[in-house]
Amino acid sequence: MPQVRILAEQVRFVSVETDSFKTGRISVSMALPMDEKMAANSLLIYLLKRSCKEYPDFSLLNGKLDELYGASLSAGVTKIGESQVLSLSLTCLDDRFALTEESIAEQCAELLAGMIFSPNCKSGSFGADNLNAEKRLLIQRIEEELNDKRTYAFNKCIEYMCANEAYGKDKYGTIEEIQNVKMADVYSAWKNLLSTAVFQITVVGSASDKIADIFTKKFSKIERNPVKPETVFIKRGRHFNRYEETYPVNQGKLVIGFRAGMENSRDNIHAITVMNDIFGMGTYSKLFVNVREKLSLAYYCWSRLVASKGIVLVEGGIDTDKEKKVSAEILSQLSDLRNGKTDPEVLESSKRSLKEKYKFTTPEGICAWYAAQVLEEDIVTPESVAEGVEEVTMEQVCEAAKKLSIDTIFMLRAQEEAEDED
Amino acid sequence: MKIKQLTNEKLGETVFCAVHPSGLEIRVMPKKGYDSAYAVFGVKYGSIDTALQKESGEFETIPEGTAHFLEHKLFESEDLNAFERFAKTGASANAYTSFEKTAYLFKGSDKIEESLEILLDFVQNPYFTQETVEKEQGIIGQEIRMYQDLPDWQVMFNLLRALYEKHPVRIDIAGTQESIAEIDADLLYGLYKNFYNPANMVLCVVGAIEPEKVFDIVEKNIKETDGRKIERKFEKESAKPVKDYVEEKLSVACKQFLLGYKEDVSGPLLSLEDELASQIMLEAIAGKSSPLYKKLLDEELIDLGFGTELFNGFGFSCVMMGGTSADPDKTVSILRSEIKRMQKEGIDPVAFERAKRKTYGRMVMGYNDIDDTANLMMNLYFNGYEPFAELEACKNITLEKAQERLAVLKEKSSAVSVISPIE
């Protein structure tokens, strides 16, 4: 069971003390509403990662990380429900392995806290060069993510499905918004972050008391007015729509978006998790066994549950001209799932497999599990979810499947060969 | 079986090694404080094996993509397939094929011994029919298509095809639509019989398991075969690349490039010292804290995805560097001239020490992960090394050695691969 402490208003410190690993992990998650400030927030997190007051240059900061035995620093922007969550994380060698008497974990915590609270910022400016560089890098990052057509189609389906909800927006903000961000916007985003974001500091490893003290001191100087982001849950798909785009690629990508009938991120979560797993996650799942193994229609065809928004997405890489056949098969498998046409052994397989998935074997895995709960009122352990999953019955699986309602289809079509030549 | 114990004191880890009479190598690292175990059963048969040595010693050509195809087919069985069997223990099972090997693996915390038996059993008992082989052609066909659309994959294989004229490292791991069409059940059974014999295989297990249990299970489950170690044929490649520039247009938003330096290797394998010295050298000259990286970033020529890599295996070795760039030509010309300058002026000793420390730290960190550790142990075995050899080798790398490895990068042996957007 992790230790949970509150360091300041809406600042939670979650630590898992362990000496099982050779590394430790410290991660700071900062949750903000998805509003017009998203682009500025995204740029901010990468500026904070670029340098800080103590190491005011990209190379100096990276040099320091190398000296800390190759500590690895990462920044991230994700959507958790309708919240934009910024994060800064460090993985470092455990103190036991240092070549000299030093605490790597404490140095890393100081460094991480310094990056957030004492950035490389003079009189309201992070430096025009730095901002421009991060704008360029962020736009390139977005473009690179879109180079992978699987990700592109997946995001596109969500964009259409949630066009009238905040969730339909890109996690980074749009390219145009990023281009228009001004220095003052980033500075106010930083002020806003310290004051209003919901924070969670997650630590896996040793020295957690000292790390908590380091962050407590920093927050004691901040006036907090936290704003908790809220997510809209739509229980049923209202009107079914299909969208398509054509690209000169080899393989088509089909994405089907469903509403899961959830009212909040933990609503009926155990049954929905098992249902989704049987539908299209495991090698025993309906989609794997039928779409792939029986019909050879795809190399991958799986379903993903996004509990923080109450949606399920099914995706597959397929031949464009087989779209109808594949979607019909997916829906027919869903119908079997609803009608209880599932081998009881598959339910057991799913429970066993899920139980394994909740056994994390790396500090990163453990840390990510807890960090993802930044917006939840209370922290749940993987063990308690495993227990919940164990209790799920076939009837509950069928009921959960009946609540899935189709909302949107997005098809990325591969241009036919003949059109391919100029 | 005689069991040998190897301990690395600093790391606090011990590996138990043994050789089964069949020739199978077994390496086990029990880990305290872990609930799960990861096991990998590997065979020295990968995509570069496009020829099979017959008993007469002669080599016979085989279609591209057979190792990967067999990997897919071994999961099948007359009764329950391997996935169905693992579903009963809860372990998550998978497999992958790389240039030099095929690996079958599982990870689980419950019924680990049973899972291990399933792993050994399904890999040793092929069962497929002409009909199911044909079905698999459809699935693998989709897999090939998927990779053809991935720019990261294409930019690398285009580079390999530009650098290597004959070496099969230039072919795609899954083969091509045409080559997999040539594969049938008889061919696969024949290849299976040759490559999948214990003398050509290794089993590595890491995590929550007693070594004695693993050895017991091996004793009971490994079949004696008349198998022999498979030798690969080393053919010296010309030092020159086939082409010095290749470009492909794909449906992407931004340009991507890889600059590759082919090494004129005189034998099939680099030494571990050479490998590590190259890694440290690359980190020192072009890592995230290097002046070169900063310069390229400041000039808006690269992004944070820029990286370098030593890419080597049986009969091939090259250094690759690249990423996304608005101007690959300019970036490549800066990289080339900076490399030349550093070859003349030498690597900054401070940068070298920092890079060495980072490389060492990252290697120690890797032992956290039971997956990574088991795969590392397998790779060390296939390349002829004892466990932990890489940590010792890393400590001994000197600045002079790194300098030597930098000198290996020759401009006339280099090539550039670019992916650019379709207009």
Query: Are B361 and A67 inside 8 Å of each other by CB?
Result: no
Alpha carbon separation from B322 to B157, B261, B349, B421 (Å, rounded): 14, 12, 24, 17
User: Could you tell me if B213 and B257 lie in one domain?
Assistant: no
User: Could you tell me if B216 and B277 lie in one domain?
Assistant: no
Which of A 147-176 lie inside 8 A of B, CB atoms? 147-150
When pLDDT is averaged across residues B66-78 and rounded to a whole number, the result is 95
Q: Is the pLDDT of residue B321 over 90?
A: yes
Structural domain contains residue B111? yes
Q: What are phi and psi of B396, to 5 degrees?
A: -90, 0
When pLDDT is averaged across residues B387-411 and rounded to a whole number, the result is 96
Residue B423 at interface with chain A, using a CB cutoff of 8 Å = no
Residue A136 at interface with chain B, using a CB cutoff of 8 Å = yes
Q: How far apart are CA B116 and CA A252, in angstroms?
A: 38
Q: What are phi and psi of B34, to 5 degrees?
A: -110, 140
Confidence of residue A417 (pLDDT cuts 50, 70, 90): low
Structural domain contains residue B240? no
Q: How far is B142 from chain A (nearest CA, A)?
A: 6
Percent of chain B with pLDDT over 90: 87
Domain hosting B282: range is 245-421
Residue B423 has a pLDDT of: 80
Q: Is the pLDDT of residue A138 over 80?
A: yes
Percent of chain B with pLDDT over 70: 100
When pLDDT is averaged across residues A186-210 and rounded to a whole number, the result is 95
Option in B33, B38, B362 nearest A20 (CB): B33
Structural domain contains residue B389? yes
Q: Per residue in B107-150, pLDDT tens?
A: 999 999 999 999 999 999 999 999 999 999 999 999 999 999 99
When pLDDT is averaged across residues B288-295 and rounded to a whole number, the result is 93
Residue B21 has a pLDDT of: 92
Residue B65 at interface with chain A, using a CB cutoff of 8 Å = no
When pLDDT is averaged across residues A120-147 and rounded to a whole number, the result is 92
Q: For residue A67, what is the nearest residue in chain B, using CA coordinates?
A: B354
Q: What are the sequence ranges of the domains in chain A?
A: 3-220, 241-420
Model confidence pTM above 0.95: no
Q: Per residue in A70-107, pLDDT tens?
A: 899 999 999 999 999 999 999 998 888 777 777 888 99
Structural domain contains residue B226? no
CB pairs under 8 A between A and B: 177
| Residue A135 and residue A181 in contact, taking contact as beta carbons nearer than 8 Å | yes
Mean pLDDT of chain B: 95
Structural domain contains residue B414? yes
Residue B80 at interface with chain A, using a CB cutoff of 8 Å = no
Q: How far is A138 from chain B (nearest CA, A)?
A: 9
Which of A 206-245 lie inside 8 A of B, CB atoms? none
Residue B341 at interface with chain A, using a CB cutoff of 8 Å = no
Q: Is the pLDDT of residue A291 over 80?
A: yes
User: Could you tell me if B27 and B148 lie in one domain?
Assistant: yes
CATH number where B408 lies: 3.30.830.10
Question: Which among A419, A301, A246, A250 is positioned nearest to B144, based on CA atoms?
Answer: A250
Residue A331 at interface with chain B, using a CB cutoff of 8 Å = no
Q: For residue A278, what is the nearest residue in chain B, using CA coordinates?
A: B87
Percent of chain A with pLDDT over 70: 99
Q: For residue A24, what is the nearest residue in chain B, using CA coordinates?
A: B365
Structural domain contains residue B366? yes
Residues in CB range of B345: below 8 A, 6 or more apart? none
Residue B235 has a pLDDT of: 86
Question: How many distinct structural domains can be found in chain B?
Answer: 2
Q: Per residue in B150-173, pLDDT tens?
A: 999 999 999 999 999 999 999 999
Q: Per residue in A315-346, pLDDT tens?
A: 999 999 999 999 999 999 999 999 999 999 99
Structural domain contains residue B237? no
How many other CB atoms are there within 10 angstroms of residue B248's CB atom? Answer: 15
Q: Is the pLDDT of residue B332 over 50?
A: yes
Option in B109, B142, B297 nearest A359 (CB): B109
Is residue B224 exposed (0-12), middle (13-18) or buried (19+ Cβ within 10 Å)? exposed
Structural domain contains residue B376? yes
Q: How far apart are CA B204 and CA A224, in angstroms?
A: 52
Residues in CB range of B219: below 8 A, 6 or more apart? B1, B20
User: Could you tell me if B207 and B278 lie in one domain?
Assistant: no
When pLDDT is averaged across residues A146-151 and rounded to a whole number, the result is 91
Question: Which CATH code is given to the segment(s) A241-420?
Answer: 3.30.830.10
Q: Is the pLDDT of residue A145 over 90?
A: no
Which of A 283-312 lie inside 8 A of B, CB atoms? 283-284, 292-293, 296-300
Q: How far apart are CA B228 and CA B46, in angstroms?
A: 17
Q: Is the pLDDT of residue B296 over 60?
A: yes
Most B-contacting residue of A19, A66, A77, A297 (CB-CB within 10 A), to test interface: A66
User: From the candidates B71, B136, B263, B275, which is the catalytic residue?
Assistant: B71
Residue A421 has a pLDDT of: 41
Is residue B19 exposed (0-12), middle (13-18) or buried (19+ Cβ within 10 Å)? middle
Confidence of residue B314 (pLDDT cuts 50, 70, 90): very high
Q: Per residue in B192-228, pLDDT tens?
A: 999 999 999 999 999 999 999 999 999 999 987 776 7
Q: What is the ipTM for the molecules in this complex?
A: 0.88
Alpha carbon separation from B365 to A20, A246, B83, B353 (Å, rounded): 12, 44, 31, 18
Residue A102 has a pLDDT of: 78
Q: Is the pLDDT of residue A26 over 70?
A: yes
Residue B131 at interface with chain A, using a CB cutoff of 8 Å = no
Q: Is the pLDDT of residue A419 over 70?
A: no
Tokens of A382: 């993987």
Residue B265 has a pLDDT of: 92
Question: Which CATH code is given to the segment(s) A3-220?
Answer: 3.30.830.10
B143 an active-site residue? Answer: no
User: Could you tell me if B89 and B15 lie in one domain?
Assistant: yes
| Residue A358 and residue A385 in contact, taking contact as beta carbons nearer than 8 Å | yes
Residue B404 has a pLDDT of: 97
Q: For residue B9, what is the nearest residue in chain A, using CA coordinates?
A: A97
